Amino acid sequence: MSEEDKVYKDYFYYEPAFNTHDGGYVPLEEPNIPQQKLKIPEPLKPDKETDTDMYYTVISEAGESQIMPGIKTKTWGYNQPLLGKTIIFKRSKNIHVTVKNELPELTTYHWHGLNVSGDIDGGCHTPVYPGESKVLNFKCDQPAATLWLHAHPCPSTAEQVWHGLATAVVVKDEHEASLPLPRNYGVDDIPLILQDRRFHEDNQWDYHKDYDPDGVQGPTAMINGTVNPYFDVTTQKVRFRILDGANRREWRLHFSDDLEFTQITGDGSLLTHPVKFTHLMLTCAERAEIVVDFSNYKPGDEVILYSDDVPIVHFRIHEFAKDDSKIPNDLFKMNAPEVTPDTPTHKIVMSGMDEEVAINDKKFNMQRIDTKQTLGSCEIWEVTNSNDCDGGMIHPYHMHGCLFQVLSRDGKEPYPNETGLKDTIAVDPNETVKLKVWFDHPGVFMYHCHIIEHEDGGMMAQIEVQDPKNPQKFNLMDMDTLMNAFAKERGVKPSELNLGGMECYDKMNMKM
């Protein structure tokens, strides 16, 4: 069988490390409510667009959302009460985004997967305080892909994402537009933001009641903010832009009848070649665009998307026109630079679980630079998960400010759907993944495990990228400034402040 015809039927990763084996694992449960129409976030309308520029306003706001029958849930979102409207950037255009914080506390705006400078990236050094706004100006210069925007204010990133601050960001380019792929947004081009929640009394979320230092989970799947959703299939082929937007949960996806589907993109670009699957696993923050062909079904049929053995989306089949289009076997050309000679290999070790998580035996410190790389230099990064194979867990490793190429897993070929550019890579216990990493913009950027409670708990570090032709002094926030601001906004003394990641430092007798 040729590689083009091969269909992959397993999840690739080390099964004993799946989150189903966690001591604190919360299995999904099928919701006991009627099916609801899948909410599809509408595109955010630009304030203005010209041939060369796009202008947007992104507002963080608190509100209420009708998620479950009965009382509305208090939620946060971008330009709406929960999650956000899909933000579309066009390659080669100058982007101007005004970010406004209408929340009761400080937040940041992290453009996950966007190739921008450190002051635009939206890490913890760039807080926007309540009632304030900030204008971000940058050029979009990267391949078509599905990225996302989420809050990143250490050590409250997890809680703010849990409140709802996450939304899809779609980059478009001329190459992707020339391919025979579904792209009628809302009809055959659909985002699926996968999250999970626990609904407490009066349909409310309670982050601190659910808190687990290994990642907060809930038994109810929430897709685009919809519980127990259905989608009306009106075209033979549908493209799904899938984001694992959960704090902790891995999603092991498959359709009823083991329906085959084709993955066409990963995190940061099209794959070099399409890959056929019946089963696909995504870890936190990873994205995958897949094309599903429903030609073997007739009107009135139902196809179900499962995570493990729990249905998460129902697809209701309607009449559709025949579609004979074929996905090209060559989708994307990887133009990664050559490794710069005589540069050091960056060795990153993710260690621990629960409160003991760390990178290279250190917990995150906002004032510490852990490694450096010169702008334009292409270097090798070796990322190891030192958890034991028995009882350990998979850690999804994410880098800000760049897209990287996966070279190998323990000296072997990467998985077949890791041929495009990525920004997040899942690493098995006792595994080392080799990456080719380069930066196109200067700044201080974070790299961390994307189980969000792990990054809040200290499994995070910082790299400084300097342009030798234009060296800069980067201003680093200090944790006390942020903690004092959170305390003031919440009306408590700093000593009374309760943010998720603080517990991990306290239990290790360490200063945040």
Task: Name beta bridge partners: 371.
Answer: 463
pLDDT band for 495, please (50, 70, 90 cuts).
confident
* 121 alpha carbon, distance to own chain's centre: 14
Q: What is the dihedral of CA 172, 175, 178, 179, to 10 degrees?
A: -90
Helix, strand or coil, per DSSP, at residue 407: strand
Segment 240-245 mean pLDDT: 98
3 state SS of 418: coil
Q: Give mean pLDDT, residues 17-29.
A: 95
| Per-residue tokens: 293 | 């062909």
% pLDDT > 70, the chain: 99
DSSP per-residue letters across 214-267:
T----SEEEETTBSSEEEEE-SSEEEEEEEE--SS--EEEEEGGG--EEEEE-S
In which band, very low, low, confident or very high, does the pLDDT at 506 lie, cut at 50, 70 and 90?
Answer: confident
Query: What domains, with CATH codes, occur in the chain?
Result: 36-177 (2.60.40.420), 187-317 (2.60.40.420)
Count of other CB atoms within 10 angstroms of residue 330: 10
d(CA 313, CA 198): 18
Q: How confident is the model at residue 15 (pLDDT cuts 50, 70, 90)?
A: very high
Q: Which pLDDT tens digit goes with each residue over 273-301?
A: 999 999 999 999 999 999 999 999 999 99
Cα–Cα dist 252/278, whole Å: 11
Burial of 10 (0-12, 13-18, 19+ CB in 10 A): exposed
CB-side neighbour CA atoms (13 Å) of 193: 28
pLDDT above 80 (res 352): yes
Q: Quick one: how many helices (H) and strands (E) in the chain?
A: 7, 33
Cα(341)–Cα(274) distance, rounded to whole angstroms? 33
User: How much is the pLDDT for 156?
Assistant: 94
Q: pTM score, two decimals? A: 0.97
> Mean pLDDT score of the chain, rounded to an integer?
96
Burial of 332 (0-12, 13-18, 19+ CB in 10 A): buried
Residue 1 has pLDDT above 60, yes or no: no
- Give me the pLDDT at residue 25, please: 96
- The model's confidence at residue 502, banded by pLDDT at 50, 70 and 90, is confident
* Span 392-410, pLDDT tens digits: 999 999 999 999 999 999 9
User: Which residues is 310 bridged to in the sheet?
Assistant: 307
Q: Which residues pair with 382 in a beta bridge?
A: 347, 434
Share of the chain above pLDDT 90, in %: 94
pLDDT of 4 above 80: no
Residue 55: the pLDDT is: 98
User: Pairing mode, if any, of strands 287-293 and 237-244?
Assistant: antiparallel
The pLDDT value given to residue 390: 86
How far apart, in whole angstroms, are the C-alpha atoms of residue 176 and residue 509? Answer: 51
Residue 256 has pLDDT above 80, yes or no: yes
What tens digit of pLDDT does each residue of 50-68 get?
999 999 999 999 999 999 9
Neighbours of 35 (CB within 10 A): 15
Residue partners of 66: CB distance under 8 A and separation at least 6: 72, 73
Strands of the sheet containing 460-466, edge to edge, are 371-374, 460-466, 443-449, 395-399, 424-427
DSSP per residue, 91-147: TT-EEEEEEEE-SSS-B--EEET----HHHH--TTS-B-TT-EEEEEEE--S-SEEE
- Residues 144-170 have pLDDT tens digits of 999 999 999 989 999 999 999 999 999
DSSP at 337: P
